Amino acid sequence: GTCYSQENLDNVAKTAHEHGCKVHMDGARIFNASIKTNTPVNRMLKEFDSVSICL
């Protein structure tokens, strides 16, 4: 898989919110992405309204 940049994630969420939409993150690989990008999960998800994570 690929990891999107934090800037890209933030921009997608911002654009959705500007149009009155909620944003959901499918967190199936969120911990892998966090390690690869050296970004804390709480920062990655800061702009999202909901997330699903299965352990």
Express each pLDDT in 1-55 by its tens digit.
788 999 999 999 999 999 999 999 999 999 999 999 999 999 999 999 999 998 8
> Domain tally for the chain?
1
pLDDT for res 54: 87
Joined together, the tokens standing for residue 48 give 């999202």
Does some domain include residue 11? yes
Residue 45 CB neighbours (<10 A): 20
Does some domain include residue 1? no
HSE-up of 32 (CA within 13 Å, CB side)?
Answer: 10
HSE-up of 22 (CA within 13 Å, CB side)?
Answer: 5
Domain enclosing residue 46, as ranges: 6-52
pLDDT for res 3: 87
Does some domain include residue 40? yes
pLDDT for res 55: 81
pLDDT for res 2: 84
CA atoms of 19 and 16, how far apart (whole Å): 5
Does some domain include residue 33? yes
